[in-house]
Structure 1
Amino acid sequence: MRAILVLLLCSRAYAGSLPDYMRACSASDPELNKCIEDVIATAGPRFAKGIPDLGIASLDPVNLGTIYIDNPALNVTLTDTVLTGLSGFKINSFKMEEAKGRATLDFTANVTLKSQYVMDGQVLILPIRGDGDARIKITNLNIVIKYEFKTVDGYWSVPEYKESYKMGRAHFKFTNLFGGNKELASLTLQFMNDNWSTIIDEIAPPAVTQIIRRCVDEVRKLFAAVPADQLLLH
């Protein structure tokens, strides 16, 4: 029994080590937010590839599974959904108020979502249906996450968060629209890409919500694995 306890403690100590490429900032640093921004900018791309030793899964690529878009005029099901591009993000700002237990992360990335799709309904004035491969490229996806954090037994937890997002451009590609009618499919795709802003308003919310949820989940794993006093020095 004693041997088992020793192994468990050693395992926890190993798993709780901050990766070498991440450095902790000091809470007394007058430029604390800038320090954290620099750490995120430097370590973020490697973090996005996953840290198996800490149980942190990859965010680039990240498997989003099945996404359902169920609107009055349009029904879309995306399956085997994979997102790439998050590791190429650019951090815009990070603001932390430790005493109040809250922080805000603002970043931008160009991402591509690939999946199998089934679609039926109407896009603006055009009827649309099809099933096949889908690719949605989003340029300058800007995500802002405001989260609360607290220390529990020496580790940070994130009980809740709020998100917002906007994007610079979206481009759609769906194969096998209208049963493979190339002329009708080409006209419909041109219409969708010309009116991308309206179309993405219908498609984006469940997809982006899932992207953000996965990001927060992996950060929560980091907080659960590494003690708070290793993440922020006092």
Structure 2
Amino acid sequence: MRAVVYSLLFAMQISFIYSSNPQIYSRCKFWDSGCLARQIQINVPSLVSGISKLGTEVLDPMRIDHGVIDLAGLKMDLTNAVIRGYGSAVVDRASVDPISRYLYLVYHTDITIDSAYNAGGRLLGAPIVGDGNIRIVAKNVLIEAHLPFDIVNDARGRAVIELKGIQYRLNFKDNVRFDLSNLFHGNKGLSDSMHHFINSNWRVVSDTYSRPIFDIAQEKLLNVLRSYLLTQPLENMFNFFN
């Protein structure tokens, strides 16, 4: 009986190890965007959970020690931020341009950000001050990313993709909700008025001030994708002959 239990535990451990690493399930043609999107979608859970053998960081929940928003009159420091939602991303489109050497990726997801904050200045022209916690819930955020790459040889001489950077566009498709504790140092009347103002203008607030935090998040995503693709020979991912 004990031998059976040990055998089951061993099998479960092996299954966990392999399921924690991204897998190539079928090769795609360069021009087959549907196949590419499906392959990326299959690997989303393992990519965002951290790839143990590569030492990549976890992307959901994603942790950001410190970020600064200093735009359009607003100065806000965010510390110990936690971003959730990348693990639920839905890949809408994906394609590879082997001539221009760009990977094109479009996906959408709901994003939640929890962080400590310290803010001062003006938000869309309205004075704001506060020091507390902030929660941002963004529904249906669409991210369109262009990732330039080179093709290099790995240590074994195999051709692999090396991502060189990321450019992206954000589209907040649905509602974004902002909740900030201790606005105006606890003045409820001013806090209620500012919350009504911010949440009534959620789209312009999001478009105006969100970029610095998403820059950090996209850089983390780039680092994980770069590390992963450097381990995947092109011949394992793409069908070049038919």
Same-fold call, TM cutoff 0.5: yes
1:158-183, CA deviations, whole angstroms, 9 ceiling, x for partnerless residues?
A: 12332111112211011011111222
Which shifted more, 105-114 or 192-201?
192-201
Give the number of aligned pairs. Answer: 217
- Cα separation, partners in 2 of 1:206 and 1:20, compared to 1, 3 Å: closer
Name the residue aligned to 1:6: none
Name the residue aligned to 1:182: 188
- Cα separation, partners in 2 of 1:19 and 1:33, compared to 1, 3 Å: farther
1:96 aligns with 2:101: no
1:123-174, CA deviations, whole angstroms, 9 ceiling, x for partnerless residues?
A: 2342110001111111111111112222211332012332111112211011
Give the distance between the partners of 1:58 and 1:52, measured in 2 at CA. Answer: 10
CA positional deviation for 1:197: 1.6
Name the residue aligned to 2:164: 159
Residues 174-213 of structure 1: pairs in structure 2 closer than 5 A: 174-213=180-219
Q: Which runs of 4+ in 1 moved over 6 A?
A: 17-20
CA positional deviation for 1:111: 0.6
Structure 2 gaps of 5+ residues are 1-17, 154-158
Residues 63-102 of structure 1: pairs in structure 2 closer than 5 A: 63-102=63-102
Which shifted more, 224-233 or 107-116?
224-233
Give the distance between the partners of 2:64 and 2:238, measured in 1 at CA. Answer: 31
3-state SS, counterpart of residue 95 of structure 1: strand
TM-score scaled by structure 2? Answer: 0.81
> What amino acid does structure 2 have at the position aligned with 1:203?
Y
CA positional deviation for 1:222: 0.4
RMSD of Structure 2 on Structure 1 (CA): 2.2
Give the distance between the partners of 2:99 and 2:208, measured in 1 at CA. Answer: 39
3-state SS, counterpart of residue 182 of structure 2: coil
CA positional deviation for 1:26: 2.8
CA positional deviation for 1:43: 1.9
Which shifted more, 113-122 or 55-64?
55-64
> What amino acid does structure 2 have at the position aligned with 1:23?
I
Residues 100-139 of structure 1: pairs in structure 2 closer than 5 A: 100-139=100-139
1:62-117, CA deviations, whole angstroms, 9 ceiling, x for partnerless residues?
A: 11221111125211111111100111111110111234422200000101111110
- Calculate percent identity across the aligned residue pairs: 23
